[in-house]
Structure 1
């Protein structure tokens, strides 16, 4: 229900509802130019619509600054009411049968988990829910749910998401991985101390604000191997690129079990120093803004992701380090 304050609702007429939607889009982008792109209008047309709405309602919705706009206190309040109303309307228009769940979901994920874990499983989801259109987006920055119109994010993180709702999807474990040839060439199976002669492969953006060697340092501290870490290495901005480099004998990488287990099962990678151990506080989380109510199409996707992760969100037994 569009529960606008009575003094505002009484001033609305049919011509103002399109202006309200223009305001909703502009408030989400905090940019008239961004709203213009989404609505296929000019920034000037967006500005004129907002101006007409403000005059009709006798309230100021935006503060116009030199290079940007920001919402006034009243504008923030109206924006919140409109977002809630549009969400309720979208949910009310959903079919009642689960088999007919429909709509678009924008899912944002880190590149590595998207490529190695999420994308190979999508065929099952589309077969079950053919009327749900998934919009998969990837990146290393945190999702801006407001301006990019993202519904759900899948992060490898420590679980701290201020102002957002998070659900732990699955645990993660880590271990050094390399090709069988690289391990043989450096004698790693018999002599773990030979790690000091290797090239380390780094995911330089493993998690928010991580140092470029954060994963290696975390693993080495856990296993008393700091003195064996070499100074040379190659850095990437994606864990899966580290894995590809390791498969092609470029060095040794920290492998995340959820992302590399199939490579190990096929013999493309090995664990030269023993099995996987807990990565510390870093696991996989589903994150979204507060929804009231939760859209059914989004709940269906989250339930399916939890099903894919398994009931225990576990990746197997921990094996000892070979030292």
Structure 2
């Protein structure tokens, strides 16, 4: 059976270049309708272009299901090939100096680390790389790099991201945090046994597939503490910290998120200092590809430099 590059080289025409572009957009969206909107075509025109490409290649690229489409194995191979060609072309056209690197870059990150750590540092990145158009997207759902056209993700977890490349950016430490008034009102200072009289604040989406109280349960097992059943649940760690600073209860504070609130005296560590997490950290995650596009490479290196700063 011929490989995709051989099939393509035998049949490339101006019309097929247009068909390949249409295929790439449809594959990214997994929708002929969304591809039509992006390309200013009708869904029927998109479908016809894909059909012509399939006939020319003697391959079936999409499975047409009742309300959606999905790529076949050959379609996945062709899509990866086109992505690689486009990225290599963009790389080749970039100037040698990283200072003038340009292009659009989409970074997906968890909301808490974005607000508390990333956003305060972005002015430096923009000053260093003014020609990069940076699009920051946040959320807690699983990352779909193809459908959402994401270049890089900053995620909290244990480093297990099947099918993706991941690199540890920085580790994390945790400790219970609350306001001084709350600790004094509940007699919590240096008294972990008093936690069962407190309201616990939970980040229910601490990492992918985590139980709603996973962070607290880990800490409680290590310290042999009985936890109360009552609590407040959020989908962001920074909201837990904000609620704690406003006397709503005790949160499991991640140091990189809550240190500014501790420095301001809005939070305290009623039960002792921070302790390393059990394998949890912040990871840079991307689709497996080598080499990385230059715009992504400079973002990775900049984030690593930020994380390497003492207290960063």
Using the size of structure 1 for normalisation, the TM-score is: 0.91
Give runs of aligned pairs for residues 189-268 of structure 1, distance below 5 A: 189-225=189-225, 227=226, 229-268=227-266
Answer yes or no: is the 8 Å Cα contact 1:156–1:207 preserved in 2: yes
- Judging changes above 3 Å, is the alpha-carbon distance between structure 1 residues 177 and 58 closer, same or farther for their aligned structure 2 residues? same
Q: Show CA shifts across 1:108-136 (max 9, x none).
A: 00110111111111011101111111110
- Judging changes above 3 Å, is the alpha-carbon distance between structure 1 residues 190 and 278 closer, same or farther for their aligned structure 2 residues? closer
What is the DSSP-based 3-state SS (H/G/I as helix, E as strand, rest coil) of the residue aligned with 1:6?
A: helix
Please identify, of 92-101 and 189-198, the stretch whose mean Cα deviation from structure 2 is larger. 189-198
Please identify, of 63-72 and 300-309, the stretch whose mean Cα deviation from structure 2 is larger. 63-72
Please identify, of 231-240 and 68-77, the stretch whose mean Cα deviation from structure 2 is larger. 68-77
How far did residue 239 of structure 1 move? Answer: 0.5
CA distance in 1, matches of 2:190, 2:164: 47
CA distance in 1, matches of 2:232, 2:132: 40
Please identify, of 284-293 and 39-48, the stretch whose mean Cα deviation from structure 2 is larger. 39-48
Answer yes or no: is the 8 Å Cα contact 2:99–2:128 preserved in 1: yes
CA distance in 1, matches of 2:7, 2:284: 40
Please identify, of 90-99 and 6-15, the stretch whose mean Cα deviation from structure 2 is larger. 6-15
What is the DSSP-based 3-state SS (H/G/I as helix, E as strand, rest coil) of the residue aligned with 2:278?
A: coil
Q: Show the counterpart of 1:274.
A: 272
Answer yes or no: is the 8 Å Cα contact 1:94–1:101 preserved in 2: yes
- Judging changes above 3 Å, is the alpha-carbon distance between structure 1 residues 74 and 197 closer, same or farther for their aligned structure 2 residues? closer
CA distance in 2, matches of 1:297, 1:185: 52
Please identify, of 284-293 and 57-66, the stretch whose mean Cα deviation from structure 2 is larger. 57-66
Q: Show the counterpart of 1:159.
A: 159
What is the DSSP-based 3-state SS (H/G/I as helix, E as strand, rest coil) of the residue aligned with 1:5?
A: helix
Q: Show the counterpart of 1:288.
A: 286
Q: Show CA shifts across 1:40-69 (max 9, x none).
A: 333222112112222333433222222222
The unaligned stretches of length 5 or more in structure 1 are 316-323
Is 1:93 the counterpart of 2:93 in the alignment? yes
Using the size of structure 2 for normalisation, the TM-score is: 0.94
CA distance in 2, matches of 1:50, 1:147: 18
How far did residue 21 of structure 1 move? Answer: 0.5
CA distance in 2, matches of 1:74, 1:283: 36
CA RMSD of aligned residues (A): 1.7
CA distance in 1, matches of 2:167, 2:50: 38
Q: Show the counterpart of 2:126.
A: 126
Answer yes or no: is the 8 Å Cα contact 2:94–2:102 preserved in 1: yes
| Paired residue total | 310
CA distance in 1, matches of 2:127, 2:261: 26
Answer yes or no: is the 8 Å Cα contact 2:172–2:277 preserved in 1: yes
How far did residue 164 of structure 1 move? Answer: 1.1
Answer yes or no: is the 8 Å Cα contact 1:95–1:102 preserved in 2: no
CA distance in 1, matches of 2:190, 2:6: 78
CA distance in 2, matches of 1:15, 1:50: 12
- Judging changes above 3 Å, is the alpha-carbon distance between structure 1 residues 82 and 202 closer, same or farther for their aligned structure 2 residues? same
Answer yes or no: is the 8 Å Cα contact 2:191–2:271 preserved in 1: no
- Judging changes above 3 Å, is the alpha-carbon distance between structure 1 residues 143 and 311 closer, same or farther for their aligned structure 2 residues? same
